[in-house]
Amino acid sequence: MSRQNPYIPIPVTIESAVIETDDRLIKTFDLVFRDKGDEERFTYLPGQFAELSILGKGESPIGIASSPTERGFLRFTVMKVGLVTTALHDLEEGSIMGVRGPLGNWYPVEEMRGKNVVIVGGGFAFTTLRSLLVYMLDQRDQYGEITCIYGARNPGLLCYRGELDEWAKRDDLGLYLAIDWKFGPEGPIEGPSEEGWAPVNLKDPSQTTLDPSVHKFTAFVPQLVQAVKPRAKDAFAIVCGPPIMIKFTIPVLLDLGFPPERIVNSLEMRMKCGIGKCGRCNIGSKYVCKDGPVFTYKELQNLPKEY
Amino acid sequence: MNAKFLSFADLDGFIRGLAKSHTVVGPRKRKGGTLYAQVSTAEELELEQTNCLRGPKEFFFPQSEVLVEFEGYIDRAVPAGESEKPVPLVLFAARPCDARSLEILDRLFVNEDYVDDYYKAKREAASIFCLSCNSPKPSCFCTSVGGNPFDTSGCDVSMTRCTDGFLLEPLTGKGESFVKDLNDADPSLLEERQRLRKEAEGVVRTDLDIGGLPEKLKNMFDDPVWAEITDKCMGCGVCTYLCPTCHCFDIQDEAVDNKGKRVRNWDSCMFPIFTYHGSGHQPRDKRYQRMRQRIMHKFNYYVENFDVIACVGCGRCITECPTNEDLRDNLKKLKELESSTVE
C-alpha cells in the first residue's frame, strides 16, 4: 500500500455507462483515471474491489470487473440498490466521480498457474469472475483447462452477453450457461424454460448427457455443475454468487472431489472504510474488506457461521 | 531523569505554564459529570473523581470528524485538516486505564496494513500525564484485564498524588522536557508511592480472572449463553459510546447541492443497521448476536489481530448501563461455563 491517505478517493471520469440487463437495474461503468500517475499506482488483481465514491452521497464497495490485463480503464458492474448506486446509475458519461482502492485480497491467480480452473458464478456476482476469466484468457498458455459455469434467473439477466457469445465460440474454454427452471404448482417443470435452453436431467442432473454443441441449459447452477462434472484433479473451483447458490454448489464440488482448500469463495458484507478499521464487516477475527473478500472454503470452515 | 516533585501550591503555575504552549485537557466538572475538557488553571481541574464519564478517545478519534471537504467535483476534494498542524495537546491527569486505552487504539489505527492519518497526527501531537488511582471505584477491574491502578503504559509522565503534592516520574523524552525544571522528589515519596499502590491494588475487585478466556471464546460462538447474558440488554449502545477502546465508525456524506463534507461518526455494533446489507440480508439480526460481537471483538478477535484485550477495566459500561448489565459478571459466566459442546 502506498503511503497515501486511504480515505481520499481518486478522481475518475465515466467513459461509458451501459445498461447490462433487461430489468435495467444493472449497469456497467468503464472509468478512466484523470491522472496517469493514479492509473499507474492502481495495481490490482482479479477478485479485488474498490469503493465507488460519489461526493454528497457516499461510497459503495464494488468488485472490479475489468482485468488488470485490460489497460486504460476500470470496469464496474453495479446493481441499483440504495442511495449511492442509484446516484451512480443517474450519472452520465463524462461525469467525474471517485474510486478508492484497490481493496481486499484476490483470487489465487499465481497458485492456479498450470492448473485447471472451474469458475462457478450466479447472477450479477459474475463481475470479479469476469475479471478472472479475462485475466486467464489473456494469458491462456499459463493455465490448464478452463471451465466456466454461469447462471442467471433468465437470459435477460445474464451480464456481458456480447462477451459470452464470443467465449462460447472458443475451443479453449468450456462455457456453460444456465437459466432457472419454470415452476408449476408441483415444482419445476421439466423441459426448457426458453427456446434453445436445453434441460438437464431433473431427477439426477449428473445423468444428463451433454451434447458438445450445446452450452445453454435450463438448470440451477449447482445442478449444471453436477451435469458438467468438472474434474477435481489439479483444479481450483472459484465460486461467487448469491448465498443460496453457494450453499448448494459447495456440496456438489466436495462430492466431485474438490478439497476445501481449492474451493475459493468471494464474500460480501456491509462495509464503510474498506481498510479494516471501521469494524463492521468481520466474520470472527477476519475482516471481509481487508482479509477477504476471497476466502477458501477451508478458511470459512474455521470461521464462525455469521454471514 | 530523577523523579520530580510538584507541590499542590505549585500545580496552578504548572498548568498555566503548560497552557501557554499547549491545549491542556484534564478532568473537569461539567453539567452531568466530570469530563475530559480543556483547562487553563488548576482550579478547573477535578482530581478527586477517579474516572471521567467518558474516556479520552474523542481527542484523537472525535465522535464526528470531517475526512474530506468538497465543493463541486471530486478533483477539488481536499483532505480536511491536512493543511493545519494539530495543536500540541497535553492530556493531564488521565487515569492509567485511559492512557492504556490509547495504546490499544494505536494498534488499530496505525499499523502496517493502513495508517489512519487523522488519528496519527493528533496522537503524535499529544503528551500524556497519567494520574495513578489512589482510590479505585467499585466498578473498576483494571487488574483483571492486564492493567493496574498505578500502571504507566502509554504515559509520558506518571503522577502520583502524595501527602503534600505530586510525585512526577518522566517516562519518555517528551515527558522529561515537561518536568525538567521541577525539583527532584524526596526518595521517601517513591516509598509512599509503593505503599499507595499496594493499598489501591487491594481495593480493586479481584475475583475476576479472565486468564485463558480469549482462547476459550474461540469455541464458544454457538453457545446458548449469549442469549442468556443478553436478556437484560435493550441495545442502547451506551456501553460502546463510553468505552475508551470501542472504535467502530460510520462514514456519511453531508452535502447541500454540490458542496459538503464526508464525515466519520462513532457507530456501534449494538445497532442492527451496523451490518444491514443493501440486499436486505442481515447477518446479526438478533440482539444476542450483537452482544456476542461486542464481547468477542474485545476479548477474542482483537487479541487475535492485535495481541491485546480491547478492554481496560474502566467500568464505564457497568456504571452507565441503564439495565445494570455487568460485564464482569458476563465474563465470569463465560469463563466458568463448562467447555462448550458445540463445535
Residue A109, pLDDT above cutoff 50: yes
Stated length of chain B: 343
Stated length of chain A: 307
Of A77, A102, A127, the one marking the end of a domain is A102
Residue in A243, A268, A275 nearest the CB of B114: A275
**Residue B44: which of B15, B14, B74 has the closest Cα?**
B15
Domains held by chain A: number: 2
Q: Do B221 and A269 touch (CB under 8 A)?
A: no
Higher-scoring residue by pLDDT: B75, A68? A68
> For the purposes of burial, counting CB atoms within 10 Å of the CB of B343, is it exposed (0-12), middle (13-18) or buried (19 or more)?
exposed
Which of B83, B112, B251 should be substituted to probe chain A, the one whose Cβ sees the most A Cβ atoms within 10 Å? B251
Residue in A82, A272, A290 nearest the CB of B250: A272
CATH number at residue A56: 2.40.30.10
Question: Which residue positions in chain B have pLDDT lower than 70?
Answer: 73-84, 339-343
Nearest CA of chain A to the CA of B243: how many Å?
Answer: 15
pLDDT band at A2 (very low <50, low <70, confident <90, very high): very low
> For the purposes of burial, counting CB atoms within 10 Å of the CB of B69, is it exposed (0-12), middle (13-18) or buried (19 or more)?
middle
What span, in angstroms and rounded, lies between the C-alpha atoms of B12 and B16? 6
Which of B262, B269, B297 should be substituted to probe chain A, the one whose Cβ sees the most A Cβ atoms within 10 Å? B262
Of A102, A127, A155, the one marking the end of a domain is A102
- What pLDDT score does A1 carry? 36
Find the mean pLDDT for residues A273-293. Answer: 94
- Enumerate the residues of chain B whose CB falls inside 8 A of the CB of residue A279: 247-249, 267, 269, 297
Q: Do B251 and A1 touch (CB under 8 A)?
A: no
Whether A98 has its CB under 8 Å from any CB of chain B: the answer is: yes
Tell me: do A160 and A251 sit in the same domain. Answer: yes
Looking at this protein, which amino acid is placed at residue A65? A
Nearest CA of chain B to the CA of A37: how many Å?
Answer: 14
pLDDT band at A42 (very low <50, low <70, confident <90, very high): very high
Q: Do B281 and A284 touch (CB under 8 A)?
A: no
What span, in angstroms and rounded, lies between the C-alpha atoms of A298 and A22? 37
**pTM confidence score:** 0.91
With contact defined as beta carbons under 8 Å apart, do A76 and A50 qualify? yes
Residue in B114, B116, B300 nearest the CB of A285: B300
Residue A230, pLDDT above cutoff 60: yes
Nearest CA of chain A to the CA of B248: how many Å?
Answer: 5
Whether A5 has its CB under 8 Å from any CB of chain B: the answer is: yes
**Angstrom distances, CA of residue A68 to CA of A73, A286, B343:** 9, 26, 41
Tell me how far the alpha carbon of residue B262 is from its chain's centroid.
Answer: 25
What span, in angstroms and rounded, lies between the C-alpha atoms of B236 and B234? 6
- Enumerate the residues of chain A whose CB falls inside 8 A of the CB of residue B279: 81
Q: Do A11 and B73 touch (CB under 8 A)?
A: yes
Q: Do B68 and A97 touch (CB under 8 A)?
A: no
Q: Can you read off the three cell numbers belonging to residue A9?
A: 478517493
Sign of the four-CA dihedral A257, A259, A263, A267: positive
Tell me: do A98 and A123 sit in the same domain. Answer: no
Tell me: do A144 and A97 sit in the same domain. Answer: no
Tell me: do A147 and A262 sit in the same domain. Answer: yes
- Name the closest residue on chain A to residue B280, using Cα atoms: A81
SS (H, E, C) A73-126: CEEEEEECCCHHHHHHHHCCCCCEEEEEEEECCCCCCCCCCCCEEEEEEEHHHH
CATH number at residue A145: 3.40.50.80
- What pLDDT score does B82 carry? 61
pLDDT band at A3 (very low <50, low <70, confident <90, very high): low
B55: DSSP letter: -
Q: Do B116 and A82 touch (CB under 8 A)?
A: no
- Residue-averaged pLDDT of chain A: 94
pLDDT in tens, B189-208: 999 999 999 999 999 977 88
**Cβ–Cβ contacts within 10 Å for residue A11, how many?**
20
With contact defined as beta carbons under 8 Å apart, do A129 and A237 qualify? no
Q: Is A220 inside any structural domain? A: yes
Q: Is A160 inside any structural domain? A: yes
Tell me: do A172 and A75 sit in the same domain. Answer: no
- Enumerate the residues of chain B whose CB falls inside 8 A of the CB of residue A1: 113-114
The side-by-side arrangement of strands in the sheet containing A216-218 is A198-199, A216-218, A174-179, A146-152, A116-122, A235-240, A263-266, A294-296
Nearest CA of chain B to the CA of A270: how many Å?
Answer: 5
pLDDT in tens, B292-315: 999 999 999 999 999 999 999 999
- Name the closest residue on chain B to residue A33, using Cα atoms: B75
Q: Do B221 and A304 touch (CB under 8 A)?
A: yes
Q: Is A289 inside any structural domain? A: no
What span, in angstroms and rounded, lies between the C-alpha atoms of B47 and B29? 10
In terms of residue numbers, what domain contains A120?
116-266
**Cβ–Cβ contacts within 10 Å for residue A251, how many?**
10
Tell me: do A49 and A143 sit in the same domain. Answer: no
Q: DSSP readout, B72-122? A: SSGGG-EETTSSSPPPPEEEEEE-HHHHHHHHHHHHHHBSSS-B-HHHHHH
- What pLDDT score does B301 carry? 96
**Residue B201: which of B131, B133, B130, B99 has the closest Cα?**
B133
The runs of H, that is alpha helices, within B222-298 are: 225-230, 238-242, 287-296
Tell me: do A40 and A173 sit in the same domain. Answer: no
Find the mean pLDDT for residues A283-306. Answer: 94
Sign of the four-CA dihedral A151, A153, A159, A163: positive
Residue A200, pLDDT above cutoff 80: yes
Backbone angles phi, psi at A18, to 5 degrees: -120, 135
Residue in B77, B114, B301 nearest the CB of A284: B301
Question: What percentage of chain A reaches a pLDDT higher than 70?
Answer: 99
- What pLDDT score does B166 carry? 96
- What pLDDT score does B339 carry? 59
- What pLDDT score does B83 carry? 55
Tell me: do A28 and A72 sit in the same domain. Answer: yes
Q: Is A293 inside any structural domain? A: no
Whether A233 has its CB under 8 Å from any CB of chain B: the answer is: no
Backbone angles phi, psi at B198, to 5 degrees: -60, -45
Q: Can you read off the three cell numbers belonging to residue B157?
A: 509522565
**Cβ–Cβ contacts within 10 Å for residue A73, how many?**
16
- Enumerate the residues of chain A whose CB falls inside 8 A of the CB of residue B81: none
B325: DSSP letter: -
The side-by-side arrangement of strands in the sheet containing A96-103 is A58-63, A49-54, A96-103, A10-19, A26-33, A74-79
Q: Is A72 inside any structural domain? A: yes
Tell me: do A95 and A230 sit in the same domain. Answer: no
- Enumerate the residues of chain B whose CB falls inside 8 A of the CB of residue A7: 67-68, 79, 118, 262
- What pLDDT score does B337 carry? 86
Find the mean pLDDT for residues A60-81. Answer: 96
Q: Do B82 and A6 touch (CB under 8 A)?
A: no
Tell me: do A131 and A219 sit in the same domain. Answer: yes
Q: Do A306 and B250 touch (CB under 8 A)?
A: no
Of A102, A133, A156, the one marking the end of a domain is A102
Tell me: do A123 and A247 sit in the same domain. Answer: yes
Q: Is A233 inside any structural domain? A: yes
Nearest CA of chain A to the CA of B48: how many Å?
Answer: 35
**Angstrom distances, CA of residue B285 to CA of A287, A300, B292:** 19, 21, 12
Residue in A34, A57, A81 nearest the CB of B279: A81
Tell me: do A214 and A75 sit in the same domain. Answer: no
With contact defined as beta carbons under 8 Å apart, do A128 and A63 qualify? yes
Q: Do B70 and A55 touch (CB under 8 A)?
A: yes
